[in-house]
Amino acid sequence: MYSFFIGPAVGAVIGYITNDIAIRMLFKPHRPYHIGGWRIPFTPGIIPKEKDRIAGAIGKAISDNLMNQDVLERTLMSEELLEKMREAFDKYIDTLRNDDESLEAFATNLFTEDEFAALRDNVTDEVSHMVSNSLADSKVGTAIAHMACEHVIEKTRYSLAGKLGADHLLELVTSPMEKLMASHINEVLREKAPAMVSQLVTDTATKFSDQSMKDIIGEHETQIEQLRESLINLYRYVITSRLPRILEAVNISNMVERRIQEMDMDEVESIILDVMHKELRAIVWLGALLGCIMGTITSIF
């Protein structure tokens, strides 16, 4: 009677052991062994032997199917992600609403003091140069002269002198007066505007950098909301227009392939076993089950 159970038991043990050995041979040995000039079969294991090919296949599969342009664009442009970005922005701004440190002190979290000073000076110089050039434009002097003459005529028209016809006399001499005045204004602007504008911009920049972050946020609530949406729109633009170039530059396939190739086999084996431990053990026990079934059939017949 006991002999009936010997076949199933032996079959189960053989099935278990052979499947367990087969799974181990996927990873081990990690290097080839030789006897003389003859390489021992099945060394290295299947995965170490085909590591480069497997790395290339995994990299290509991830790049083509899991992290391709369509998948990444849908993920990066999803409303859920955009809403999280808005929430993160709002949360950060909320912290600044209670921040008493000045803009300059806040900027030192991002830049060194010298870098911030250089940045402020560069911005001040650029703005001053731009405004000075605009003021030195002849059109500015002409416009100011024209407005001044129009204002004088208008005031004269409703005064006692206007009732006596002085405004009509002024209108006759307006054109040469405008040209002369515009010439003098333009000359003054060319000489004085750079220094005046530079001092004005410098004072404004210094005053602004000395303001506390909570005051700046409180005074520019509308602009903060516009900034948030501008950043979201910029993000959308970068993703829609630059994602193909980014993917081309990053080259996910090659990146994954190189990373797998750089890993030693102990690390590769550990990762695979962590992911598929239950499945691989199930294969071992399935071998035992199939061996038991075959042993039972053999015992019966």
Q: Is the CB of residue 16 less than 8 Å from the CB of residue 285?
A: yes
* 140 and 40 within one domain: no
Q: Which of 167, 182, 211 is the last residue of a domain?
A: 211
Residue 216 within a domain:
no
Overall number of domains in the chain = 2
* 95 and 3 within one domain: yes
Condensed to tens digits (0 to 9), the pLDDT of residues 33-50 reads 888 778 888 788 888 888
Long-range pairs for 249-257: beta carbons < 8 A, 24 or more residues apart = 251/63, 252/59, 252/62, 252/63, 252/67, 253/56, 253/59, 253/60, 253/62, 253/63, 253/64, 254/59, 255/59, 256/55, 256/58, 256/59, 256/62, 256/63, 257/55, 257/56, 257/58, 257/59, 257/60
Name the one residue in this structure whose structure tokens are 């599969």: 61
Residue 129 within a domain:
yes
pLDDT number for residue 105: 78
Residue 149 within a domain:
yes
* 254 and 202 within one domain: no
Name the one residue in this structure whose structure tokens are 């993000």: 235
223 vs 229: CA distance, rounded Å:
10
* 267 and 176 within one domain: no
* 59 and 47 within one domain: yes
Residue 188, pLDDT above cutoff 80: no
Q: Check residues 278 and 188 and name the one with the higher pLDDT.
A: 278
Backbone angles phi, psi at 263, to 5 degrees: -75, 140
Q: Check residues 131 and 65 and name the one with the higher pLDDT.
A: 65
* 150 and 139 within one domain: yes
**Structural domain of residue 240, as residue ranges?**
1-100+226-301
* 261 and 231 within one domain: yes
Condensed to tens digits (0 to 9), the pLDDT of residues 123-154 reads 777 777 777 776 666 576 677 766 666 665 56
* 204 and 266 within one domain: no
pLDDT number for residue 167: 47
Residue 121, pLDDT above cutoff 80: no
Q: Check residues 191 and 90 and name the one with the higher pLDDT.
A: 90
96 vs 90: CA distance, rounded Å:
10
For the entire predicted model, the pTM comes to: 0.57
